[in-house]
Chain A
Amino acid sequence: MSTTSPAAAARDGFLQSYRQLAGELDRSAPLWLRRMRQQAIESFEETGFPSPRDEQWRQTNVEPITTTRFEPAGDGPSEVGAATIGSVPFVNLAAPDGPRLVFVEGRLVRELSELDGLPPEVVLGSLAQILRDHPETIEPHLTRQAGRSEHGFAALNTAFLADGAVILVPEAVKLERPIEIVHLASGADQPRAVHPRTLVVAGAESELTLIEIHAGAADKTYLSNGVTELVAGPAARIDHVRIQSDSHRAYHIGVVRAHQQRDSTIRSFSFNFGAALARHDVSAELAGEGAHAALFGLYVIGERQHVDSHTVLDHAAAHCTSHELYRGVLADRARSVFNGRIVVREGAQKTDAVQSNANLLLSDRALAHSRPQLEIYADDVRCTHGATIGQLDADAMFYLRARGIGTRQAREMLIHAFVAAVLDELGCEPLREGIEAAFSGRLADEDRTADE
């Protein structure tokens, strides 16, 4: 006799969904993809969902996910119309006229998307279609960066891979307008699992900005389990902005993996505002000399929200630089985890890595974990890290109030000042204003609940 644990039962549920869907998924897939999917599901079957016994999941218990029964996302008619998309936060701010790809439950919705406005040599489109028409263009990249060696969630994403966003920018093409990718959960009453996927390949000396927005109907429970792969060719430049504003009852797992060739630059922004439980893994492999990675993160959470940010900066080549700055504001009973790992491999001399994580606790019941992890196997490097967890500066509060500014406004001014360190780096004023407005409203809500 054996009793099945919730995690094992949840695993079996996903395996069963996979078996039901695999035939249909594989029908249009090239052989290499079918193999990858097969490997991914085998790996998931073996490892299952992470447990608090796993070193990288000690502070994040995924039990709320494993005890919820998720149906696979269907291709049923989308309940999201053009009217809804206009009301999704953050959409339209950076790229008012597109180009934009809108996915509902992981599937591209063409009527809501705006594919025009790019140079003809740039590929922007649906993964499903590219897999049908030109699979060879993405074969060298898709699932090469992520989806096999990660945790069980990423393996699941690859196993269920059916559609997603693909951006291929050829050599020396510099895109001035940002590309927006919107992933929406449709808001079905039964919890559903969605596996959004994004692949970006930037050719040598090309440049692009990508805004990835994750959202869903408020009050709905769903699992959004996304993977984004970024490949920066020699001297390419990618700005990747990821905004997570999922329903406060949703679960969000996100993996961003970047591969950087020589002299390339990737700037990654991770904004986490939504979800009951969010886990976000960002990693950059600095594989070519002279590459630069900048990882910025901001989480503003309250209630009983939980946000876990795990980052890895893998300095595999010499003369690379990385800069990491994560800041969090926690109200009510929110909890956050920051785990920043920097690996300097043998021979990666002259590495210069700077990491900082700061947390602002607005309530006595909020809790922030912060943990830098340095692994250095080269001897001529500079690595610095710092972590702080604290409250609003009482002296600064007093000073502002002594000038007649009310408590609430003073609080807000200091919170905005605290997050400015991250937002100042964004360099897109409309988006910045949208983000500031979003959490101003948010903190005002927290204030109201605190008053009640």
Chain B
Amino acid sequence: MAFQYPVEVPGVGNLYFLKAALNAVRKHRGESELDAMEFLKLVREKLKILHLDESLLQRPVNAGFSGGEKKRNEIFQMAVLEPSLCVLDETDSGLDIDALQMVAEGVNAMRSPERAIVIVTHYQRLLNHIVPDVVHVLAGGKIIRSGDRQLAVELEKKGYRWIEEHAADAARDAAADTSPASA
């Protein structure tokens, strides 16, 4: 779960936090815990993939980070922890174009058949960089329309009103079809 507003945890070092998290996850998976050297090696690899500076490790978790840094830190954690299901909640909000590109690269690098990634967003912009397999449109807590990436493009052009009206029509039709009094 990558947070829209990652929480600042002053006093807890990023490296220490990540090691605790990774070892907790590994333990759960029945894998052995990593020692300090193995862990550092892994972390450095991931930093490289995401073009992140090593100084990030020594700072307290998200404390005093800029909005973009926080989001990148979320993706970095994702890269280290390698969850099988990732939920990215409005990861694109508050990001400039460069940061957006970096976040997208990080996510793309993690795509694999063994992993599901759910991206929650209001804008199609992020989807130019991370091309989705499936697009669901959510309104009022329900999926009202599903499709491929073209759906997002169309939605961007026509707006949410369009799809809501469209969905309302469809719902009415469906209700009419099943109603016994429709004759």
Binding site for B on A (CB under 8 A): 393, 395-396, 398-400, 402-406, 409, 413-414, 416-418, 420-421
Contacts and interface: CB of A to CB of B under 8 A. Distances in A.
B67 interface: no
Contacts of A413: 9, 12, 16-17, 20
Interface in B98-127: none
Query: Which 5 pairs from chain A and chain B are nearest by CB?
Result: A417-B11, A403-B21, A399-B7, A404-B25, A404-B24
Contacts of A405: 17, 20-21, 24
Contacts of A416: 11-12
B121 to A, nearest CB: 19
Contacts of B48: none
A396 B6 CA distance: 9
B9 A409 contact: no
Interface residues of B, number: 21
A403 B28 CA distance: 12
A395 B5 CA distance: 11
Interface in B34-79: 60-61, 77
B11 A404 contact: no
Contacts, number: 55
A330 B30 CA distance: 35
B162 interface: no
Contacts of B28: 404
A400 B1 CA distance: 11
Given A402-B1, A413-B17, A413-B20, A396 B25 contact: no
B3 interface: yes
B62 to A, nearest CB: 8
A347 B69 CA distance: 48
B3 A409 contact: no
Nearest to B77: A403
Contact of A399 (B6, B60, B81): B6
A417 B21 contact: no
A385 B7 CA distance: 26
Nearest to A396: B9
Given A405-B17, A413-B17, 8 more contacts: A396-B9, A400-B9, A403-B25, A404-B28, A406-B24, A413-B16, A417-B10, A417-B60
Most buried by A among B6, B7, B61, B81: B7
Interface in B76-101: 77, 81
Given A400-B17, A413-B12, A395 B7 contact: yes
Contacts of B7: 393, 395-396, 398-399
B168 to A, nearest CB: 36
B10 A404 contact: no
A414 B81 contact: no
B11 A418 contact: yes
Contacts of B3: 399, 402
A420 B21 CA distance: 20
A404 B17 contact: no
A417 B12 contact: yes
Given A398-B7, A409-B24, A413-B20, A403 B81 contact: yes
23 contacts: A399-B7, A399-B9, A399-B61, A400-B9, A400-B17, A402-B1, A403-B24, A404-B21, A404-B24, A404-B81, A405-B17, A405-B20, A405-B24, A409-B20, A409-B24, A413-B12, A413-B17, A414-B12, A416-B11, A416-B12, A417-B12, A420-B11, A421-B11
Nearest to A412: B20
A396 B17 CA distance: 12
A156 to B, nearest CB: 40
A402 B12 CA distance: 16
A448 B22 CA distance: 25
B17 A403 contact: yes
Contacts of A395: 7
Contacts of B12: 400, 413-414, 416-417
Contacts of A406: 24
Nearest to B29: A404
Nearest to A418: B11
A107 B161 CA distance: 85
A29 B61 CA distance: 59
Contacts of A409: 20, 24
Most buried by A among B1, B10, B60, B81: B10
Contacts of B25: 403-404
A400 B61 CA distance: 10
A337 B98 CA distance: 51
Contacts of A403: 17, 21, 24-25, 77, 81
A417 B20 CA distance: 14
A409 B28 CA distance: 14
A406 B24 CA distance: 7
Contacts of A404: 21-22, 24-25, 28, 81
